[in-house]
Structure 1
Amino acid sequence: MTTTTSQATGSSAASDGRGARPDRRRRGKEGPAVAAVPVVPAPKLRRRPVLVAASVAAVCLGALLGVWTWSSTSNTHEVVALRQDVTRGETITQGDLVTVQVGLDPALKTIPGDRLSSLVGQRAAMDMAAGSLVTAAGVTKAVLPSEGMSVVGVALPPSLMPGERLLAGDLVRIVATPGQQGDLGQEPPATVAATVVGIYPNGENGETVVSLEVPEGQAAELAARAATGKVALVLDSRER
């Protein structure tokens, strides 16, 4: 009886043990309960009138800038400008001129670019700086020598010329220098007033040939004095 009871008890315990394990496995598979996450609705966008107005203003500003850029580029014209300085009375050469694109003021009488070649050979009516636009008032078709005038060339060494650079249009005087004896005499030296129309340095002998415009009646005297080599050039005032 004791043995039977003991086996029954053990069998019952084993049966209870087998019954308990499946319960643990089921709990392990199911796992802990997960709480439900509430769904938050998307926020409603609020319209801001200030931002809308700023966007519209930016678009309009961009359009205006585009119109201004197009207008400024489409209203440019090709005109003649100076590549280098040209002094009053100097003959204008092809190398002095260049064409540029600029916006024009109707009050400015510029020279169209297609007329550049017509300016070559004319003379500057005033001093004009490099980069400036050529206007109708800045050039002249006056020929040299003009009626009743003559042009005489005088070759001078640097010692008998002023240190200042001569310019076309300068008023000068050719002064007779003393002879070999260096005697000035009682009378003042003879002078001939003239206007500079050209300067041509000679690199071979160091002399400079200055073309001078003088009245016809004084041309012979000036040429004779220049031939002796005993003359000097004096630059008079440039104030006008």
Structure 2
Amino acid sequence: MTTTAREDRKPGPHRTAPDAGPPVTPPPKLRRRPGLVVAAVVVTALGCLLGAWAWNATTSTEEVLAATKTIHRGEVIAADDIRRIRISDDPALEPLPASAYDEIVGQRAALDISAGGLITTESTTGAPMPPEGKSIVGISLTPAQVPALPMHGGDKVRIIVTPAANGDAPSGAPQFTAAEVVDTAIDETTGNTVVNVLVPYADASVLAARAATGNVALILDSGAQ
């Protein structure tokens, strides 16, 4: 019996030893890097600051007036010449607020205002037209009597007396009146260009009499004259 028990404990021909499997590797220990943690905190803080700055930049705006098209000096500002826009608040700029819209319409441009330009207190004038000591004379001119160039308020011109039809050319220098353009318009009936000019009060009656004859021509001079 003893011998049989010992033989039973011996592995038989069809028995195999149990598979122990691959050795288990312990998980790596994570190393804490304080420098990376600090960098992550700094980046997060910077992101928050940049976000706050961007929010401030987009929300700190004001509504102001700007020109929808080019407005030349001397022109009367119409309702569709200006509009309300929003811009970032900039202390270096001093545009008129949108609340001044009704006050600006009807005033004259004191200087040339480019399309998209901001309207400032220096852009317009409420001074009466014509000013004291001046008169405005309207002259109707055919295409042959006026330069084929656009004229705007403030342009310097001379209105020359020309000889009548079949008349002799003047022997000396022709008479003329120096003037300043206020504005121009096209007469839809005749197709003539009507030029309103500003002249001294004493010259207004003489210029009007000459213009009534039709024997005049307009010369556009340099602004530096």
Band the TM-score falls in, shorter-chain normalisation? 0.7 to 0.9
Which residue number corresponds to residue 105 of structure 1?
90
The aligned runs of 1:157-176 (5 Å cut-off) are: 157-176=142-161
- Within the alignment, does 1:82 sit opposite 2:67 as a pair? yes
Code of the aligned partner of 2:23 = P
Q: Tell me the CA shift for residue 33 of structure 1.
A: 3.7
Other structure's SS at 2:122 match: helix
Code of the aligned partner of 1:39 = V
The aligned runs of 1:2-41 (5 Å cut-off) are: 27=14, 33-41=18-26
| Cα deviations by residue, 1:95-133 (Å, 9 ceiling, x for unpaired) | 110111112333432100111121011111111111111
Q: Which moved more, 1:152-161 or 1:47-56?
A: 47-56
Q: Normalized per residue, which structure has more helix?
A: 1
Could you state the TM-score of these two structures normalised by the residue count of structure 2? Answer: 0.87
Which residue number corresponds to residue 8 of structure 1?
none
Work out the percentage of aligned pairs sharing the same amino acid. 44
Matched pairs, number: 214
Q: Which moved more, 1:30-39 or 1:137-146?
A: 30-39
* Structure of greater Rg: 1
Code of the aligned partner of 2:103 = S
Alpha-carbon distance change, 163 to 34 in structure 1, aligned in 2, over 3 angstroms: same
Which residue number corresponds to residue 52 of structure 1?
37
Could you state the TM-score of these two structures normalised by the residue count of structure 1? Answer: 0.82
4+ residue runs over 6 A deviation: none
- Within the alignment, does 1:71 sit opposite 2:71 as a pair? no
Other structure's SS at 2:210 match: helix
Which structure 1 segments of 5+ residues have no match?
Answer: 1-22
1:235 alignment partner, one of 214, 220, 223: 220
Which structure 2 segments of 5+ residues have no match?
Answer: 1-11
Which residue number corresponds to residue 149 of structure 1?
134
Code of the aligned partner of 2:110 = A
- Within the alignment, does 1:94 sit opposite 2:92 as a pair? no
Q: Tell me the CA shift for residue 204 of structure 1.
A: 4.3
Q: Which moved more, 1:183-192 or 1:206-215?
A: 183-192
C-alpha distance in 2 between matches for 1:181 and 1:239: 36
